[in-house]
């Protein structure tokens, strides 16, 4: 089914990244549709297997994209370590060790790019049963592990981990993920409006999105983990727009970041994540071999001090990586 739109698409750029004998050829290009700029990364494998990863930036944000930290913005794309047990979006990821290795490789490569001493950024450590966690808990733990690893450096010591997984935000994120497949648009303040927050500390950027497409027969493996990796370590061509929502400083004196004023000190922000499958808009990518796609939407809100909100502390041994499920 073809979708018709009044605004024309504009192809902005095409970049051929690299081609090695056993690695995919990576092409990158962008299209503007309605109120978004879509960054499309295409992977062409030697055997003809084709995959796309798509994320977007609101056009209104393009001229005012400012990295939370200029040093982090200086980093370049780091693709999932090909020496792990993952090659392509559909390969089954049954290894917590493989996920941990990929993220730690990216942290080490970031150190090298920023000319930091080895070990400056620390590393992540995932429990052996990590893959048995819910999607929300996996995402929450992984994001906070990366934040805690980076904040070990004095240059990034003011970074603050997230405080809670919110079931209502995740429910809303799933709706947005499905909406992304058909229209590519959503109200950027949906969580604040539908979940009942009368006020939040920031509202301009509350959502990240990512879409995975493949012409293979298998499902996209752990799409939320692959999306988090791409947002954190392979988001250069959005100006690190997506990473800006995941890695925040502790806001003080009106500075950008999360204002640490809700419940537990040293952590702040309620997150939700949603996944949907279906056909992605062919006005953005028109490839008849892509029969379906998987979309991921992450949302974050910063509740104001004194907000009435029911929550349950699940783990409290370390408040910088506490697991809290908001009800």
pLDDT at 306: 64
Neighbours of 20 (CB within 10 A): 9
| Separation of alpha carbons 265 and 127, rounded Å | 24
CB 106 within 8 A of CB 78: yes
Q: Hey, which residues does 277 pair with through a beta bridge? A: 294
Report the chain (327 residues): mean pLDDT per 10 consecutive residues: 32 45 79 89 84 89 59 80 58 79 93 90 94 93 94 87 84 87 59 43 72 86 94 90 86 66 79 90 80 89 68 46 50
pLDDT at 186: 52
| Separation of alpha carbons 256 and 251, rounded Å | 6
> Which among 286, 293, 249, 254 is positioned nearest to 268, based on CA atoms?
249
CB 234 within 8 A of CB 246: no
Is 3 domain-assigned?
A: no
CA distances from 261 to 49, 88, 227, 258, 302 (A): 49, 41, 29, 9, 9
pLDDT at 195: 42
CA distances from 327 to 167, 270, 310, 311 (A): 6, 11, 6, 5
CB 231 within 8 A of CB 210: yes
Is 302 domain-assigned?
A: yes
pLDDT at 255: 56
pLDDT at 105: 93
CB 214 within 8 A of CB 90: yes
160, 166, 171, 176: CA torsion to nearest 10 = -20
> Which among 303, 325, 323 is positioned nearest to 130, based on CA atoms?
323
Question: Any alpha helices (H) in the chain, and if so which ranges?
Answer: 70-73, 96-113, 135-150, 167-182, 190-194, 223-233, 241-246
Tell whether the torsion through CA atoms of 168, 249, 37 and 15 is positive or negative.
Answer: negative
pLDDT at 94: 65
CA distances from 94 to 23, 53, 74, 130 (A): 22, 21, 33, 10
pLDDT at 204: 58
Enclosing domain of residue 248:
10-326
> Going edge to edge, which strands form the sheet with 164-166?
10-16, 25-33, 36-44, 50-58, 207-214, 293-301, 270-278, 164-166, 323-326, 311-315
The whole-model pTM stands at 0.84
Q: Which H/E stretch holds residue 51?
A: strand 50-58
Domain tally, the chain: 1
Is 1 domain-assigned?
A: no
pLDDT at 180: 84
**In this structure, what DSSP letter does residue 59 have?**
G
Is 4 domain-assigned?
A: no
Q: Hey, which residues does 209 pair with through a beta bridge? A: 297
């Amino acid at each position: 089914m073809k979708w018709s739109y009044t605004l024309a698409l504009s192809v902005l750029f095409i970049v051929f990244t690299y081609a090695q004998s056993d690695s995919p050829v990576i092409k990158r290009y962008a299209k503007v549709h309605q109120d978004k700029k879509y960054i499309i990364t295409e992977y062409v494998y030697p055997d003809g297997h084709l995959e796309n990863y798509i994320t977007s930036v609101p056009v209104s944000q393009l001229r005012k994209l400012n990295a939370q930290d200029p040093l982090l913005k200086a980093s370049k794309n780091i693709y999932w370590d090909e020496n792990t047990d993952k090659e392509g979006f559909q390969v089954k990821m049954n290894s917590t060790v493989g996920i941990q290795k990929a993220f730690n490789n990216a942290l080490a490569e970031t150190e090298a790019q920023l000319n930091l001493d080895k070990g400056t950024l620390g590393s992540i450590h995932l429990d052996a049963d990590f893959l048995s966690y819910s999607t929300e808990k996996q995402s929450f733990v992984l994001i906070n592990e990366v934040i805690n690893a980076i904040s070990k450096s004095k240059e990034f010591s003011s970074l603050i981990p997230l405080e809670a997984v919110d079931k209502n935000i995740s429910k809303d994120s799933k709706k947005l993920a499905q909406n992304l497949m058909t229209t590519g648009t959503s109200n950027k303040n949906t969580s604040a409006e539908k979940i009942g927050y009368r006020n939040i500390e920031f509202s301009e950027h509350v959502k990240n999105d990512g879409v995975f497409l493949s012409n293979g027969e298998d499902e996209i493996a752990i799409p939320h983990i692959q999306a988090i990796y791409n947002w954190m370590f392979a988001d250069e061509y959005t100006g690190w727009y997506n990473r800006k929502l995941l890695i925040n400083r502790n806001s003080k004196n009106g500075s950008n970041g999360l204002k640490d004023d809700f419940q537990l000190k040293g952590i702040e922000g309620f997150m939700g994540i949603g996944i949907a499958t279906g056909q992605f808009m062919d006005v953005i990518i028109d490839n008849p071999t892509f029969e379906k796609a998987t979309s991921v939407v992450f949302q974050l809100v910063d509740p104001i001090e004194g907000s009435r909100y029911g929550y349950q502390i699940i783990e409290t041994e370390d408040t910088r990586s506490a697991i809290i499920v908001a009800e």
